[in-house]
């Protein structure tokens, strides 16, 4: 029997009690599917008292940073990076990154995330873990040249080697992007070469933008322009797909650039609150028709990968900031984490539709915080704790009734603990 032929019976799908049939890695049919299905060839999942949702899409992560959880809390970004995170990251190697990624994938699967967009180092370690865990990911090697010509050459060479390595895998679940860290850590020359490379390989660019007031001041002092204006001045956004993480402090002119250049925004409200970076003007971006998605950022600044928390906060924070409870609604914040994420990564998933990728999660509704079983989509945004029941990625059942099917959870915890002690000693 192949897991990749799977029938979910009697679940809530798109607001109605119905069945969902998966063939290979695709949602083949949604509706009342008769029992003439070949039971030998099809795995049947009982969907009674369960809701099927599209797997969540986390558009900004540094996944191996699960190992940095709790190591440097209650600090502002520049102090956090310069004095705590970067010195620890100097001790990383592919094995440590592999262990942190296994843990990150496990945490994401358990909280209903099926795809993530990552920027980090030692991609061979990340690729190995993502492949073993069965997740979908877009991976970029994070480049920082600190305006040094020699470093720039090394970073670009590394990035290109990683692109070739990932393309050669020919793994449909693992895509590649370019990851220049930010305009305050990358030279104009590096950014211009990144733009060329993105066009050459037809891949997206993943970058931190306008996260803090400090960095905007740094870029303004250096270039006389705000970050989006500066990058736009040399055509960085032309003819490429860009995912800009954070976008907390934006001028009206910058919002115009984001709209005009169809830049995807990854909103990371919890990381922005924890590092006291600020509150992104998401309602203004939505009003302008900009594609807003959600990210957790790394576990050093969140401190978890539970995207349901991000969904809830993205709905609450803008109500509080604008004193308007209608400013972002339930449907919008849920779509930030599903449909909009898929659009940003150019993937046919994020919605439960026939012909879409079979990346889904089932949630058991027999939980005190999901009763009464009415207005369930409201519960998913405002009340759910993120512990999903079953997860299917690319048609493969990776977790069923809370149990991981192909990996040993205990071994992942042990490996991660060991890797953590290597990092701190
Ligand atoms: C070059 S790989 C990614 C790089 O980014 C660092 N990082 C993690 N979180 C943030 C953040 O919120 N803003 C800026 N940089 C961040 C991470 O530690 C890696 O060094
Ligand atoms: Zn980040």
Q: State the CATH class of domain 5-54+359-409.
A: mainly beta
| CA atoms of 133 and 285, how far apart (whole Å) | 35
Nearest to 12 by CA among 311, 364, 266, 332: 364
> Tens of pLDDT along the chain (425 residues)?
445 799 999 999 999 999 999 999 999 999 999 877 777 789 999 999 999 999 999 999 999 999 999 999 999 999 999 999 999 999 999 999 999 999 999 999 999 999 999 999 999 999 999 999 999 999 999 999 999 999 999 999 999 999 999 999 999 999 999 999 999 999 999 999 999 999 999 999 999 999 999 999 999 999 999 999 999 999 999 999 999 999 999 999 999 999 999 999 999 999 999 999 999 999 999 999 999 999 999 999 999 999 999 999 999 999 999 999 999 999 999 999 999 999 999 999 999 999 999 999 999 999 999 999 999 999 999 999 999 999 999 999 999 999 999 999 999 999 999 999 999 98
**What's the rounded Cα separation, in Å, for the pair 116 and 136?**
7
What's the complex ipTM?
Answer: 0.99
- Pinpoint the alpha helices (H) of 44-187: 77-80, 86-89, 94-110, 123-133, 149-169
- Counting atoms of ligand 1 from 1, which one is nearest the CA of 211? 13
State the CB neighbour count (10 A cutoff) for residue 213: 12
Q: What is the pTM for the complete model shown?
A: 0.98
Helix ranges restricted to H, 202-289: 213-223, 227-233, 252-260, 269-274, 282-287
Query: 308, 380 in Cβ contact below 8 A?
Result: yes
**Among the atoms of ligand 1, which is closest to the Cα of residue 275?**
12
The ligand whose atoms approach the alpha carbon of 86 most closely is 1
Rg (CA), the chain: 21
Alpha helices, H only, 238-281? 252-260, 269-274
Nearest to 61 by CA among 312, 227, 245: 245
Query: What is the atom index within ligand 1 of the atom nearest the CA of 68?
Result: 18
Q: Provide the residue ranges of all domains of the chain, joining segments of one domain with +.
A: 5-54+359-409, 56-344
Name the residue at shortest CA distance from atom 5 of ligand 1. Answer: 181
Q: Which long-range contacts (CB under 8 A, 24 or more apart) does 258-261 make?
A: 258/228, 258/285, 258/288, 258/290, 259/288, 259/289, 259/290, 261/232, 261/237
Please give the distance, rounded to the nearest whole angstrom, from the Cα atom of residue 328 to the centre of ligand 1: 28
Is 196 assigned to a binding site? no
Q: Other CB atoms closer than 10 Å to residue 85's CB: what's the count?
A: 21
Ligand 1 pocket, Cβ-based, cut-off 6 angstroms: 62, 77, 81, 85, 89, 119-121, 142, 144, 181, 208, 211, 271, 297-298, 301
Our mutation pick for probing the ligand 1 site, out of 208, 209, 267, counting the most ligand atoms within 8 A of Cβ, is 208
CA 137 vs CA 47, 257, 292, 315, 331: distances in Å: 27, 27, 19, 25, 24
Cα(171) to centroid(ligand 1), Å: 26
The CATH number for 56-344, chosen from 3.20.20.140, 3.40.50.300, 3.90.800.10, 3.90.76.10, is 3.20.20.140
CB 350 within 8 A of CB 338: yes
CA distance 305 to 297: 8
Kindly provide the residue ranges of all beta strands, DSSP E only, lying in 259-333, ordered along the sequence: 264-267, 292-294
Ligand 1 pocket mutation pick from 61, 75, 77, 85 by most atoms within 8 angstroms of CB = 85
């Amino acid at each position: 029997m192949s897991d990749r032929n799977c029938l979910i019976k009697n679940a809530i799908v798109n607001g109605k009690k119905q069945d969902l049939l998966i063939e290979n890695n695709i949602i083949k049919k949604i509706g009342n599917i008769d029992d003439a299905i070949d039971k030998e060839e099809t795995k049947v999942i009982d969907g009674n008292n369960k809701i099927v949702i599209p797997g969540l899409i986390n558009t900004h992560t540094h996944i191996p940073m699960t190992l940095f959880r709790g190591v440097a809390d209650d600090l502002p970004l520049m102090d956090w990076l310069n004095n705590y995170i970067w010195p620890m990251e100097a001790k990383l190697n592919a094995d440590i990154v592999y262990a942190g990624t296994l843990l990150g994938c496990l945490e994401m699967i358990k909280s209903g995330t099926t795809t993530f967009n990552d920027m980090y180092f030692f991609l061979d370690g990340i690729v190995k873990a993502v492949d073993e865990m069965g997740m979908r990911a877009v991976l970029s090697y994070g480049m920082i040249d600190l305006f040094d010509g020699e470093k720039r050459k090394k970073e670009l060479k590394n990035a290109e080697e990683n692109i070739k390595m990932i393309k050669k895998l020919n793994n449909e679940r693992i895509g590649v992007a370019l990851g220049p860290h930010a305009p305050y850590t990358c030279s104009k020359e590096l950014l211009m070469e990144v733009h060329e490379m993105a066009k050459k390989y037809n891949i997206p660019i993943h970058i931190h933008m306008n996260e803090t007031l400090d960095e905007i001041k740094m870029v303004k002092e250096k270039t006389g322009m705000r970050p989006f204006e500066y990058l736009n001045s040399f055509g960085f956004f032309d003819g490429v797909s860009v995912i800009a993480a954070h976008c907390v402090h934006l001028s009206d002119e910058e919002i115009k650039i984001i709209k005009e250049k169809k830049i995807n925004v990854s909103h990371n409200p919890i990381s922005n609150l924890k590092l006291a970076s600020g509150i992104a003007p998401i309602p203004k971006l939505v009003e302008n028709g900009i594609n807003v998605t959600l990210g957790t950022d790394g576990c050093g600044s969140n401190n978890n990968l539970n995207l349901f928390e991000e969904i809830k906060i993205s709905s609450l924070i803008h109500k509080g900031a604008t004193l308007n409870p209608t400013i972002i609604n339930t449907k919008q914040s849920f779509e930030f984490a599903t449909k909009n994420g898929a659009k940003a990564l150019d993937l046919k998933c994020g919605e439960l539709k026939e012909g879409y990728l079979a990346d889904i999660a089932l949630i058991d509704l027999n939980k005190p915080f999901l009763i009464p079983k009415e207005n369930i989509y409201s519960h998913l945004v405002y009340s759910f704790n993120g512990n999903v029941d079953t997860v299917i990625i690319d048609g493969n059942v990776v977790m069923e009734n809370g149990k991981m099917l192909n990996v040993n959870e205990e071994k992942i915890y042990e490996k991660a603990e060991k890797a953590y002690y290597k990092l701190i000693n």
